[in-house]
Amino acid sequence: MRLSRYFLPTTKETPAEAQIPSHQLMLRAGLVRQGAAGIYSWLPIGLRVLRKIEQIVREEQDLAGAQEMLMSTVQSADLWRETGRYDSYGKEMLRIEDRHGREMLYGPTNEDMITDLFRRDVRSYRDLPMMLYHVQWKFRDEIRPRFGVMRGREFLMKDTYSFDIDAEGARKSYYTQFAAYLRTFARMGLKAIPMQADTGPIGGDLSHEFVILAETGESEVFYERVFEDLDPMGLNPRQRDSVEEAVRPWTAPYAATDEVHDPAACPVAADDLVTGRGIEVGHIFYFGDKYSKPMNATVQLADGRSAPVEMGSYGVGVSRLVGAIIEASHDENGIIWPEAVAPFRLGLINLKVSDERCTAVCEELYRALRVSGVEVLYDDRDERAGAKFNTMDLIGLPYQAAVGPRGLDKGVIEVKNRATGERREMAMDALIEWMTE
Amino acid sequence: MRLSRYFLPTTKETPAEAQIPSHQLMLRAGLVRQGAAGIYSWLPIGLRVLRKIEQIVREEQDLAGAQEMLMSTVQSADLWRETGRYDSYGKEMLRIEDRHGREMLYGPTNEDMITDLFRRDVRSYRDLPMMLYHVQWKFRDEIRPRFGVMRGREFLMKDTYSFDIDAEGARKSYYTQFAAYLRTFARMGLKAIPMQADTGPIGGDLSHEFVILAETGESEVFYERVFEDLDPMGLNPRQRDSVEEAVRPWTAPYAATDEVHDPAACPVAADDLVTGRGIEVGHIFYFGDKYSKPMNATVQLADGRSAPVEMGSYGVGVSRLVGAIIEASHDENGIIWPEAVAPFRLGLINLKVSDERCTAVCEELYRALRVSGVEVLYDDRDERAGAKFNTMDLIGLPYQAAVGPRGLDKGVIEVKNRATGERREMAMDALIEWMTE
C-alpha cells in the first residue's frame, strides 16, 4: 500500500480523552475513531490488525475441532426469559423494542441462543462431542465505557460453546479449549497465564481467565516463576483424552489476580512468586446443565435414556486484544507490533522522493516485495525524513527500510528492527531475500 | 470435513413458513436457522457460502482501489439529525435507547457516519479521490420480513463510499464501481443487468440497480438481448479515466424493471427485447453534496478555495446474494452452487462404510484431496446410499464422487456433475489429478 493513497490519519498530539497508552496510540496511529461512547469504527490499518488477530483465533479453534458458524447480533428476549437471564442480566444488556413492540436485545453473549439452536437440531449422543464457535460483534452497555477498545460497549468476541453427553466429556472439551487458548495467545507473541476464576453471571463449576502480562495492565497478578519458561506450541488440542494431563504444567502452579490473592495464605515461596500487572483477554467456563436444563436441550444416550447436554463456553476478546497487545508492546515513540499481528511487515521509506534514484529503487523494491507476498507499506509522500521516521515508529511495523541518497552511494538500504532498535545496512537484493525467505 | 462430525442438519420436509425456493432450500439444506422474524443465524455450511461471496466482493473492491475499514453497527442519533434523516427515515430504522437514555440506532446504511469520519480527518484535495468500504451487519426493521435472507431485517451488506473534489471525478468513481459490480457478479456465476433506477431515500442524480436473472425473481424485467453476450471480466476498474466509456456496452442498451417499463414508450424492437424475472442484488448512487453540505465535509482545493466533497455510495447485499444465487440456480432436488461460491467443491460419498475396501479408498482420497487444498465434504455416515445421494443433491456441491464395491471391482469411482447431471467413471488417480489441476 502507498501511504500517499492510504487512509491513515496520524496525529502527534495525545488526545485528551485517552488515559492509557493503547487508547492514545490507537487514536494517534489512526487505528480507530470513536463514534459514540465506547463505540468505535476501525480505520484501514486498525482493521488489518483486528483481522489478523481474528484469523489466529479462528485457526486455533479449527485446529481444536470447533466448527465456525455465525449467530445474529439481535436476539429475541424470549430465549433469555427461558433461562431467567432477561431479568437478571441487568442494565449492561442493551434492550431494544422493534416497530411491533416486540422485546429484543443486542446479544452480550450467546449461551441462550446456542442452546436453542442445539436443541432444535441435535438429538443423539452420536453427534457429540460438538464444539461450535462464532466471531461476532457483541454489545454490553457499560455504565462508564473507557480505555478505548479495552472496555468498549460494542466489541468483537470469539465465543465457543461445547456440548458433551456427560461431565467427563465436558472436562475434555474444557481442557481442549484451554490448550487452544494457550496456543492462540502464544502465536500473537503474548505470554498468557491462566488463572482460576469465579464464574460470575455465566455460572458453573470450573473457570479460568487468561491474563496477559503488561506493565500498564488493569490488575495486579501473582504467579509462580515456572510459568515464564513454558511453551504451549507443542500442545495438541485434538488429543482429547490426554489434554487435561498435557496442560497440567499450566494448571498446577499458583496464579491469581489481586482479587483472590491472599499473601498470608499463598503457598508459594517468596523467591518463586512473581508480581506483575495483567489484562484479561480470555475467559472459559464449564457450567454443566445450567442452560440445557431450563431450555430442555437433551440428547438421547446410548442406553436410550435422555439427559440434558453438558456445556461450556469459551470467550476471547478479539477487539480487546488489539488494545491489550499495545499495552504489552509499545514504547515512548509508538506501537511495537508482534510480527504475527502487524498490519504490514515492512515500512518502506523513500527519504527523498525528488531524487530519481531513490524513487526508482523504492518502486523496484515495492514491486518485488509485493510480488513475493510481503506486506509492505510504502511511504511515498513528499515529507521530511524525520516526519516519516516518526510515523513509522508510531504505527509500529516490525521492520523499516529507509532508502536515501547517502545509502545508495554506498549501495545500501538501512533496515531498522522496531522492537530492538537495531539497524543494519543491506543491499537491495539481500533485503528482498531476507524478507521473502 | 467429515459429515459424521459436521453440524449440518438437513430435512426432507419443506418448512411451512417458507414460500420461495431459496428460503425452503436454505432451511432444508441446513444453511440458516431463524432466531426471530427476519433474523437468521448461519450454520457452518451457510457461513462458508456467505464468506465466499463476501471474499469475491472484497477482492473486486480492492482491485477497484477501495480501502476496507469497518464501521460500528450501533450509531449515535446525533449524526442522523445533522442530515435530517433521523426524522425522515421512518420506522424501518431500529431506534435504540441506551442505559443513560441517549438515542442510538442500529445502522441501516452508513452515509451519515462515513461523512462524519471523512470530515474529521481529510482536509485536502491531495487525498482524493478516495473510496472506503466495509462489510458489516445492518438492520432494517421491515414491517413484514419474509422470503428468508432475501428480505430479512438483520443482513450483511458491503457498502462503499466515494469522495471526489468535483462532479467529473465523482462520475469516474461511480463508473469504477459500476465496472467492479459487473465483475463481482460475473465471478459468482451470475448474469447481472444494470438498470437505471430511482434514487429513493439515499437521494442523488444518477443511480443503477444490478438485477440478476432468476425464474423465481421478485420482479419482472425487460432488457435488450445484447446483454446476454457481454462479458465484463475484461474490464479494468483501475482505469478511471476511461472506465465510463468502457462500460458503455452495459449503460447504452435498454433495461428496466416493471416499475418503470412502459411498453408503449419502449424504444426497443420486440425481437430484441427479452422479458424475464430478476432480483436486485446491488444498488449504486451518485448523490453529490447531499450529505457533505449539511455535515460540512469540505476539502481545500488546489486554488485554495474549499468545497463540499462530492460523494457516491455503492451497496451489495451479501447475505441476500446467498438466497438470490439459489433462486437463480436450483432444481427440484436442491441447490446447484456455482463453483466460485460453493461451500465445498466435492462431495465424497462412501456408499458402504462397512466395506473395508470402500472405506480405505475414501480415506485415501479424502486425505490426498485435502492435502492438495481441495475442499471436500466426506459423507462417512452409516446411511443408505439413496439418503446420501439425496443429501448431496440437496446441498448442491458442484461434484459428487461415489465410492462403492461395484465401482471398485472395475477400479473406478463414479463422478457426477451436479449442474448437468453428467456422470463419468474415473480411476482414483485421475480423479485426484482432475480435482487438483
Which of chain B's residues have a Cβ under 8 Å away from the Cβ of A154?
Answer: 72-74
pLDDT of residue A109: 97
Identity of the amino acid at B422: E
Contact criterion met (CB below 8 Å) for B77 and B88? no
Minimal CA separation from A118 to chain B, in Å: 10
Per-residue pLDDT at B201? 62
Collapse the DSSP code of B77 into the 3-class scheme (helix H, G, I; strand E, B; otherwise coil) and give the result.
helix
Residues B164-179 have a mean pLDDT of 97
List chain B residues with CB under 8 Å of A133. none
Backbone angles phi, psi at A170, to 5 degrees: -65, -35
Rounded CA gap, B6 and A293, in Å?
A: 24
Nearest residue to A144 via CA among A244, A38, A69: A38
Mean pLDDT over B277-286 rounds to 96
Say if B40 is an interface residue toward chain A (CB within 8 Å). yes
Facing residue for B121 by CB, picked from A9, A68, A98: A9
A33 touches chain B (CB under 8 A): yes
Which residue(s) pair with B414 in the sheet?
Answer: B402, B425
User: Measured between CA atoms, how close is A389 to chain B, in angstroms?
Assistant: 21
Position B202 scores a pLDDT of 60
Give the pLDDT confidence score for residue A351 in this predicted structure. Answer: 97
- b (16+ CB within 10 A) / e for B6-38: bbbbbeeeeeeebebbbbbbbbbbbbbbbbbbb
pLDDT > 70 in chain B, percent: 99
Asked if this assembly's ipTM is beyond 0.85, the reply is yes
In angstroms, the separation between the Cα of residue B252 and the nearest Cα of chain A is: 33
Q: What is the mean pLDDT of chain A?
A: 96
Over its C-alpha atoms, chain A yields an Rg (Å, rounded) of: 24
Across residues B34-41, what is the average pLDDT? 97
User: Can you tell me the mean pLDDT for A95-102?
Assistant: 96
Average confidence (pLDDT) over A196-223: 84
End-to-end CA distance of chain B: 21
Confidence of residue B140 (pLDDT cuts 50, 70, 90): very high
pLDDT > 90 fraction of chain A, expressed in percent and rounded: 93
Pick among A6, A32, A41 to test the B interface (most B CBs inside 10 A) = A41
A217 pLDDT tier (thresholds 50, 70, 90):
confident
Using CB atoms and an 8 Å cut-off, which of residues 57-86 of chain A contact chain B?
65, 67-76, 79
Interface membership of B36 toward A (CB under 8 Å): yes
Distance of CA B122 to the CA centre of its chain: 31
Q: Among A134-148, A233-247, B198-212, B236-250, which stretch is predicted with the lowest mean pLDDT?
A: B198-212
Does the distance separating the beta carbons of A122 and B9 come in below 8 Å?
Answer: yes
Residue among A69, A76, A96 whose CB faces B43 most closely? A69
Whether residue B72 and residue A6 make contact (CB cut-off 8 A), yes or no, is no
Pick from B42-51, B206-215, B331-340, B417-426: least confident = B206-215
Q: Quick one: closest CA in A to B6, which residue? A: A67
Inter-chain residue contact B36 with A75, CB threshold 8 Å = yes
Query: How sure is the predictor about A167, in pLDDT bands with cuts at 50, 70 and 90?
Result: very high
Q: Looking at this protein, which amino acid is placed at residue A36?
A: A
What span, in angstroms and rounded, lies between the C-alpha atoms of B331 and A380?
54
Give the pLDDT confidence score for residue A260 in this predicted structure: 86
Would you call B139 and A67 a contact, using CB atoms and an 8 Å cutoff? no
User: C-alpha angle with apex A430: A429 to A434, nearest 5 degrees?
Assistant: 120
Predicted confidence band of residue A201 (pLDDT cuts 50, 70, 90): low
Q: Can you give the pLDDT at residue B156?
A: 98
Burial of residue B363 (CB within 10 Å: 0-12, 13-18, 19+) is middle
Closest Cβ–Cβ partner in A41, A44, A72 for B154: A72
**pLDDT over threshold 80, residue A198:** no
Residues 6 or more apart whose Cβ sits within 8 Å of residue B276 = B213, B215, B217, B220, B221, B223
Residues 6+ apart with CB under 8 A from A291: A83, A111, A112, A115, A297, A311
Average pLDDT over residues B382-392: 97
Q: Is the pLDDT of residue A26 over 70?
A: yes
Interface contact B99-A91, CB threshold 8 A? yes
